[in-house]
């Protein structure tokens, strides 16, 4: 997503000396390590995680720090044998599976165990240990204990399923309290992360230096494998993020900032080949670090698009909207309608269409990192247009399209929506992040004639965990200007039922056979570690309707 700063700030491409970055990395990670290491033995400083639940399996993850100086990305530290265990009870008296792995320097000492043979719809506990003498040398150092859950059996009748939904977590912009509030819930089957799990910028570039809550490492913009590893490692020292990963399985896709701002298949807005190397090398480094550090199964194509099923109630189709897309069009040149341009790539769009048609699940959930609903902004008042243009990557004069979203690739959107209509695919719900606002939308077949014309699907967009939104950019109190802006957006886009331009937080999606409901929650202050959480709004779509309606209370 494009960022254009309203005030003069240091260049985003200012490179801080490597020595300074190393010092910050040491202070961030070594401080976390204090008291955790047993002399020079291994430690689990980055927590444990699980992800991609299957009816019979789960992916387990951890990172071993083999010695105090073996920071992420450093390439130092010995290969370390690890034992993993998964149990039906927290005391590990009913161990369901156990195995061994090696935390190797070649994989930044990260470990994954793709465990199978488990029971469906079952809660498990898991842990790792690094014995002092190898896998036969006793218990040694033991990781924190994580909790996870498998998916319902294929074909099972499932009364309900519930997901936490998050996106856009900028380390420098605030504390990750939304993760803590989701971790506090015991009613979630998994947490869906819709992208921008990390940000690639140099320190003080976004947000601006005077609003940085905590500096990340490295301080410079990340471009190399070592850089991406260290940035991922820094994020996973956050205690709220660690708690989230240790409490719920996470299902993640990437957006652009896992690579660079406004990434596409051949480059990015925030990439200069002449000074930052080739785009192909940077993408390869970013993807390698991502698959090392995230509890995500890597496909043979090196992408994150995949499907996960939850009985006959829901099937989750997860998209990769960065690896195959055409370059973003120049606003106003008409290329947004060019049928040769794509946001999905041909193979992925065909895969999605075929999967939606073939699915026997009641609900077809689609995880998309950028908004599919069309949105026009030309009717906004002039004093609000500039900050929204910055936030959404629009020109300040107000041309009504965001070319980084599906609005910039209208032929792919038209093909997908036509496919839903022509094949009678009902109950499709798009789950979206990216734009640091919360939305509840119908997805119209023809926006110009909605609501007289049909809606093909619905869309729930969650706001950011910390990344700047309207009031952050304007540096004003919430709702100072946003109520006027939201009213203007809704007036120009009648399929938009609600938009919240101010809040930071998360969503909770509750799915039953009768309806899919998104409860939107906001945190009190993203700059406060102890921020509280409160319910804001709820919207639902009833099965068979393809329309959204407001609900007066969250699901209990």
**pLDDT tens digits, one per residue of 116-127:** 999 999 999 999
pLDDT of residue 15: 27
In Å, how far are 60, 80, 161, 397 from 45, measured between CA atoms?
16, 14, 32, 48
Rounded Cα gap, residues 120 and 149, in angstroms: 8
String of b and e for 92-118 (b: at least 16 CB within 10 Å)?
Answer: beeebbeeebebbeebbbbbbbebeeb
* Token pair in block for residue 450: 């909605």
In which band, very low, low, confident or very high, does the pLDDT at 335 lie, cut at 50, 70 and 90? confident
In which band, very low, low, confident or very high, does the pLDDT at 402 lie, cut at 50, 70 and 90? confident
- Burial of 552 per CB tally in 10 Å (0-12, 13-18, 19+): exposed
Is residue 539 classed as helix, strand or coil in its secondary structure? Answer: strand
Rounded Cα gap, residues 138 and 160, in angstroms: 43
**pLDDT tens digits, one per residue of 516-553:** 999 999 999 999 999 999 999 999 999 999 999 999 99
* Token pair in block for residue 82: 């690890």
**CA angle, residues 345, 348, 351, in degrees to nearest 5:** 150
In which band, very low, low, confident or very high, does the pLDDT at 359 lie, cut at 50, 70 and 90? very high
Q: Are 399 and 393 in contact (CB under 8 A)?
A: no
Q: Are 243 and 236 in contact (CB under 8 A)?
A: no
Q: What is the CATH number of domain 161-551?
A: 3.60.21.70
Look at residue 21 and tell me whether its pLDDT is greater than 70: no
Residue spans of alpha helices (H) in 318-381 = 346-358
pLDDT of residue 56: 98
Q: Which of 6-15, 137-146, 246-255, 463-472 has the lowest mean pLDDT?
A: 6-15
Quick one: three-class SS letters along 216-236? CCCCCCCCCHHHHHHHHHHHC
Model-level pTM? Answer: 0.91
Is residue 392 classed as helix, strand or coil in its secondary structure? Answer: helix
**pLDDT tens digits, one per residue of 185-241:** 999 999 999 999 999 999 999 999 999 999 999 999 999 999 999 999 999 999 999
More confident residue, 82 or 402: 82
Rounded Cα gap, residues 325 and 176, in angstroms: 30
Nearest to 287 by CA among 366, 369, 232: 232
Q: Which of 30-44, 262-276, 415-429 has the lowest mean pLDDT?
A: 30-44
In Å, how far are 46, 264, 344, 385 from 372, measured between CA atoms?
35, 17, 12, 21
Cis peptide before 208 (omega within 30 of 0): no
Residue at token pair 């790792």? 128
List all residues 6 or more positions away from 491 whose beta carbon is below 8 Å from its beta carbon.
379
Residue at token pair 């930052």? 276
Look at residue 507 and tell me whether its pLDDT is greater than 50: yes
Look at residue 467 and tell me whether its pLDDT is greater than 60: yes
Rounded Cα gap, residues 322 and 351, in angstroms: 16
In Å, how far are 85, 176, 247, 378, 507 from 181, measured between CA atoms?
27, 9, 11, 37, 11
* Token pair in block for residue 359: 């699915």
Q: Are 62 and 143 in contact (CB under 8 A)?
A: yes
List all residues 6 or more positions away from 414 whose beta carbon is below 8 Å from its beta carbon.
none
- Average pLDDT in the 440-460 region? 95
Please state, rounded to an integer, the average pLDDT across all residues of the chain: 89
Look at residue 500 and tell me whether its pLDDT is greater than 70: yes
Residue at token pair 């769009």? 349
pLDDT of residue 12: 30
Q: Which residues pair with 515 in a beta bridge?
A: 542
Domain spanning 36-149, CATH architecture: Sandwich (2.60)
- Average pLDDT in the 255-259 region? 98
Cis peptide before 218 (omega within 30 of 0): yes
List all residues 6 or more positions away from 373 whose beta carbon is below 8 Å from its beta carbon.
406, 430, 439, 441, 442, 443, 444, 459, 493, 495, 496
Is residue 268 classed as helix, strand or coil in its secondary structure? Answer: strand
Long-range contacts of 214-217 (CB under 8 A, 24+ apart): 214/171, 214/172, 214/175, 215/24, 215/28, 215/172, 216/24, 216/28, 216/171, 216/172, 217/21, 217/24, 217/25, 217/28, 217/29
In which band, very low, low, confident or very high, does the pLDDT at 478 lie, cut at 50, 70 and 90? confident
- Average pLDDT in the 50-72 region? 97
Residue at token pair 């971790």? 183
- How much of the chain exceeds pLDDT 90, in percent? 78
Residue spans of alpha helices (H) in 184-259 = 225-235, 239-247
**Length of the chain in terms of residues written:** 556
Beta-carbon neighbour count of residue 337 at 10 Å? 12
Rounded Cα gap, residues 48 and 143, in angstroms: 7
pLDDT of residue 383: 55
Continuous segment of H or E residues that includes residue 431 = strand 428-432
Domain boundaries, the chain: 36-149, 161-551
Q: Which of 171-180, 259-268, 397-406 has the lowest mean pLDDT?
A: 397-406
Residue spans of alpha helices (H) in 34-134 = none
């Amino acid at each position: 997503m494009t960022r254009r700063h309203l005030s003069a700030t240091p260049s985003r491409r200012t490179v801080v000396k490597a020595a300074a970055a190393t010092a910050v990395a040491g202070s961030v990670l070594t401080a976390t390590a204090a008291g955790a290491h047993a002399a020079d033995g291994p430690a689990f400083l980055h927590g444990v995680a699980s992800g991609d639940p299957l009816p019979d399996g789960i992916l387990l993850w951890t990172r071993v720090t083999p010695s105090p100086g073996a920071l992420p990305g450093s390439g130092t530290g010995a290969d370390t044998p690890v034992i993993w265990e998964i149990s039906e009870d927290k005391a590990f008296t009913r161990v369901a599976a156990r195995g061994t792995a090696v935390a190797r320097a070649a994989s930044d000492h990260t470990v994954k165990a793709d465990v199978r043979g488990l029971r469906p719809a079952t809660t498990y506990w898991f842990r790792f240990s690094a014995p002092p003498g190898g896998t036969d040398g006793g218990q040694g150092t033991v990781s924190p204990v994580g909790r996870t859950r498998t998916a319902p059996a294929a074909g099972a009748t499932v009364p309900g399923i519930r997901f936490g939904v998050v996106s856009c977590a900028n380390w420098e912009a605030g504390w990750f309290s939304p993760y803590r509030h989701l971790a506090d819930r015991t009613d979630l089957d998994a947490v869906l992360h819709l992208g921008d799990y990390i940000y690639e910028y140099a320190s003080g570039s976004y947000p601006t230096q005077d609003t940085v809550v905590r500096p990340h490492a490295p301080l410079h913009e990340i471009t190399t494998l070592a850089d991406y590893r260290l940035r991922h490692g820094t994020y996973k020292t956050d205690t709220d993020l660690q708690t989230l990963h240790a409490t719920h399985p996470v299902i993640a896709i990437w957006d652009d900032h896992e690579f660079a701002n406004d990434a596409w298949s051949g480059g990015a807005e925030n990439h200069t080949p002449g000074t930052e190397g080739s785009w192909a090398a940077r993408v390869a480094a970013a993807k390698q670090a991502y698959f090392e550090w995230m509890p995500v199964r890597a496909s043979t194509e090196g992408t994150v698009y995949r499907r996960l099923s939850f009985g006959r109630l829901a099937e989750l189709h997860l998209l990769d909207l960065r690896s195959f897309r055409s370059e973003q069009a120049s606003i106003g040149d008409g290329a947004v309608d060019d049928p040769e341009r794509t946001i999905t790539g041909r193979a992925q769009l065909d895969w999605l269409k075929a999967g939606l048609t073939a699915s026997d699940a009641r609900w077809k959930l689609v995880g998309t990192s950028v908004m599919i609903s069309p949105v026009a902004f030309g009717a906004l008042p002039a004093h609000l247009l500039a900050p929204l243009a910055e936030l959404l990557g629009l020109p300040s004069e107000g041309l009504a399209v965001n070319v980084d979203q599906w609005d910039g690739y209208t032929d792919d959107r038209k093909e997908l929506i036509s496919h839903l209509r022509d094949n009678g695919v009902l109950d499709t719900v798009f789950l979206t992040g990216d734009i640091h606002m919360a939305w509840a939308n119908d997805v119209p077949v023809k926006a110009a004639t909605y609501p007289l014309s049909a809606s093909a699907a619905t869309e729930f967009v969650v706001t950011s965990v910390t990344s700047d939104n309207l009031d952050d950019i304007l540096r004003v109190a919430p709702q100072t200007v946003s109520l006027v802006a939201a009213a203007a957006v809704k007036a120009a886009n009648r399929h938009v039922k609600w938009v919240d331009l101010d809040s930071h937080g998360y969503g909770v999606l509750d799915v039953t056979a009768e309806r899919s409901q998104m409860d939107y929650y906001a945190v009190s202050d993203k700059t406060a570690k102890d921020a509280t959480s409160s319910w804001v709004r709820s919207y639902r779509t009833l099965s068979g309707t393809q329309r959204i309606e407001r609900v007066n209370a969250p699901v209990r």
